[in-house]
Structure 1
Amino acid sequence: MSPGDHQLGVVFARCPELRTEVKEILLLHLLSRITDTSILARRSILQHLWKTHPADAESLLCGFLSLKASYDKLAEKHYFDKRRNWHNDNAEEVVAGTVESFSTIFAKENVELFGRVNDNEIELSEFGDFNDIPAEVLSNALDLLPLGTDAPAHKELINLAGVQLSEPDILADADSQSGFLLKRRTMQKFANLVISAVPSDAVAFVRPFVETFNSSVVPDLFEQLIFAEDELRQYESFWEVWQAFYPKLVEHGKTRRWRDRPDRSIRNYFLAWEYWKTESKSWPSIRDREKVFFQNAVRELGQHPSAFYGISRFLNEIGSSFLNEGIGWISDLLKLGPSPTESPETNTTYYLELLARRYADLERPNDSKLA
């Protein structure tokens, strides 16, 4: 990779005479395994081409989807051919010549398709059904999509990713290290695409998760959605998605055995998130409107130990501005019985004591005025 590879998008925009060469380089980088070059190629497309030359960015996405399977097949054959002849070659020469010679061979074998990509004569509509796209290829394709996209074909890819991610068994080798990393990377980009979408699209994208509500998947989705909202600040989309999960969370909280272990779905839903900074006492995406949401959630879910933990921690961290109301929610909850304090989760009592001290400090000036 040359020092200027990460600026290929800029070169493409500013040097029309080099566009054919630049697109070919970008496409070959995209097709390669996940390396620094392929990552920088994606970044170049996302940062520059979608803004300045969207048709060219679209054709590169199409070229990637069209050529990835044949690229990997030829790459595997090329690799084993090199291994077979290794004992007859100088090792350094073999390694140095592999990428260049392979890229040349592949480009020649697919000259017509490369030409269509260069001329922007290829469209996603040609692919028909996306369901046969392998998980890894789909993940890489998602990486190429711009945030906030409203293109119908792009939405189909995002919807397909939602289906695959909502069912852990669909992703091959999900329990292996490579499978775990693939799933995590896909979930991160999926969450960013969800939060950056208009509210109606965002809700549609997460519908597979709502319908299946797999408790081994939903906590990770919630985690990535919080990360995405923390970065992108799309208030309406975030809370529309959160509300879409509400009925399922209530059902889940009432049917799941309480004492198995802490429930990450419920904890994350209450924004009792382990990644907040210690000093974080507010969040721009929490406004007065959310008081009603949390009041209802505590009333319907609060007797679940994970929800009791969640609201206690939330009120001490980013929900600190709801302290007065929160004390009332917890008081009403404890009157209902059976109390979740009979078998509290670790640190629940700690957060409750913090709340009590903060509330007492808040009320003390009022008491002195009355005296």
Structure 2
Amino acid sequence: MGDELNSEDIKFCKNLIIERIMWLFDHSYFYQVSDGIVSAIETLPYLFKFFSDETDELVKLLVFLLFNTMDITLSYKKRELLGLHFYGINEFIATIIKNHLWNYSPEISNKILFEYVEWQPKFKSIMGQLIKENFNRPKYKNIYSEAIQRFSKDYGEDFMNTDLKNYFNISNLDLFSMNTIFQAIPDNTNNKIHLKFIKEILLIFSKTIFDNEHDYRDSGQKKYELRSNFLRKLASFILNQPKKEKIKEFLRPFIDNFKITRETKDLFDAFISLENKIESYDNFWEVWNIFYDKIEECSDLNNHYSNEIIQLYLLDWSYWEDNFDWDNWYLLKERESTFFYNISKNIGNNKTVLISIVKFLNKVGRKYNNNGIVWINNIINENSNLRSEKFEKKEISYLEEYCERYIKLNNRDIYKNSKTKEQIVCILDFLVEKESNVAYSLREQLS
């Protein structure tokens, strides 16, 4: 921008940006999609470069915006690019700081966060008071603007004079505020203050984030929105870790406080969803190996929630692309064949394990087509309880699909190698017991 515009042009643009952002502080402001607020906010970090003499005022503005939890609407493409599903202005600002301001000035970025940590609880208290005072007033009133005015009156002399310590004092912060700071920190940070903060909040979140409390609310925000955004950030932080050996240390609280709930599957979903975009092979499988023992516990429990967790752990995910070269997928190498073999030997007593492995082999794991015959045999032969289990038609169809493809690709070997034939017939016998006409027909063809 500096190469194309002269100083007057740049100043003119800055004034337009600030003027639009100041709408947020107007008593009558009501957010509307495409009113320019989002675009104006996105440009704020760039102003530091051209207006260094106004740094304090820009920092103050960004801290005020971090106080603002008003929901805004972003396009699906922008949400995916920025990495959050749900956005308040505070989370949007945090993401902008992470993506743009840290590279320009870590000092300024840290200053913003220290001011936010110090003053957010006081601002939240003022907002709470104003919400009570305005309970019976028109809903369209912009209480945030009134809160900023009251905050400035009460704390204006001390605001922006926070002593920068060697830690973030989070004792007075709620989960939403902690998450806002987390969103603003770069994934690859090696800052000791950041890492200490992250370890502290991971312990706190691990004890609360996976409870079945869908209606929990705080400051007008739902807990499921908090959980979604936190888990996406957690996945990004872990998968982008430059030191793989540190991953277990960061995930330890989630191992120690592991719960088999509907919310826990969202943790695995977040990791798969992000890994599908950024391709962090080593870190992803480090995470999966860390959770292995907990998946064994899920297998023993065998209820609805535990089975949903197992499905995701075995990469039985609903959003894989159909038209993709899965035969050459980077995430599956030779060593992952051993991983699935061990699964078949150790937790094959759970029907969900069998079905998820078969679905995996039918799509994303089809490069393991020949290895899979061993896995499925392990499960069927070593877990007699499955013979009395009731299978749904769709589940039977997954096994039929695998058998049809295996026979088609290995037809010659089946007739030449008695062990190969024995393995596929074992699966067909199992399916015939489940009243599969397809399996009966395939078995007859091989006899």
> What's the TM-score, normalizing by structure 2?
0.71
Gaps of 5+ in 2: 1-19, 22-35, 73-88, 418-447
Distance in structure 2 (CA, Å) of the matches to 1:18 and 1:201: 39
Correspondence for 1:350 among 394, 397, 401: 397
Taking the TM superposition and a 5 Å limit, the aligned residue runs for 1:223-242 are: 223-242=269-288
Correspondence for 2:185 among 145, 168, 172: 145
Correspondence for 1:360 among 394, 404, 407: 407
For 1:269, the equivalent position in structure 2 comes to 313
For 2:239, the equivalent position in structure 1 comes to 195
Distance in structure 1 (CA, Å) of the matches to 2:286 and 2:339: 12
Distance in structure 1 (CA, Å) of the matches to 2:384 and 2:53: 75
Taking the TM superposition and a 5 Å limit, the aligned residue runs for 1:203-222 are: 203-216=248-261, 217-222=263-268
Change (3 A) 1:34 1:67: same
When structure 1 is superposed on structure 2, of 64-73 and 199-208 the one drifting more is 199-208
Distance in structure 2 (CA, Å) of the matches to 1:205 and 1:66: 25
For 1:61, the equivalent position in structure 2 comes to 113
Counterpart contact for 2:275–2:284, Cα < 8 Å: yes
Identical amino acids, percent of aligned pairs: 21
Paired residues, what number? Answer: 356
Correspondence for 1:313 among 355, 359, 362: 359
Q: How far 1:156 moved relative to its partner?
A: 3.0
Select the structure that is richer in helix: 1
Q: How far 1:242 moved relative to its partner?
A: 0.8
Taking the TM superposition and a 5 Å limit, the aligned residue runs for 1:26-37 are: 26-36=62-72, 37=89
For 2:167, the equivalent position in structure 1 comes to 125
For 1:134, the equivalent position in structure 2 comes to 174
The residue type paired with residue 286 of structure 1 is L
SS in 1 for 2:374: helix
For 1:71, the equivalent position in structure 2 comes to 123
When structure 1 is superposed on structure 2, of 107-116 and 165-174 the one drifting more is 165-174
When structure 1 is superposed on structure 2, of 72-81 and 329-338 the one drifting more is 72-81
> What's the TM-score, normalizing by structure 1?
0.84
Q: How far 1:38 moved relative to its partner?
A: 2.9
Q: How far 1:172 moved relative to its partner?
A: 10
Establish whether residue 10 from structure 1 lines up as the match of residue 57 from structure 2: no
For 1:326, the equivalent position in structure 2 comes to 372
Distance in structure 1 (CA, Å) of the matches to 2:209 and 2:94: 28
Distance in structure 2 (CA, Å) of the matches to 1:345 and 1:122: 61
SS in 2 for 1:289: helix
Change (3 A) 1:299 1:134: same
Counterpart contact for 1:174–1:180, Cα < 8 Å: yes
Counterpart contact for 1:171–1:179, Cα < 8 Å: no
For 1:183, the equivalent position in structure 2 comes to 227
The residue type paired with residue 357 of structure 1 is E
Counterpart contact for 2:115–2:160, Cα < 8 Å: no
SS in 2 for 1:35: coil
Taking the TM superposition and a 5 Å limit, the aligned residue runs for 1:224-303 are: 224-253=270-299, 255-256=300-301, 258=302, 263-280=307-324, 282=326, 283-303=329-349
The residue type paired with residue 396 of structure 2 is T
Counterpart contact for 1:219–1:265, Cα < 8 Å: yes
Change (3 A) 1:21 1:116: same
Distance in structure 1 (CA, Å) of the matches to 2:382 and 2:135: 71
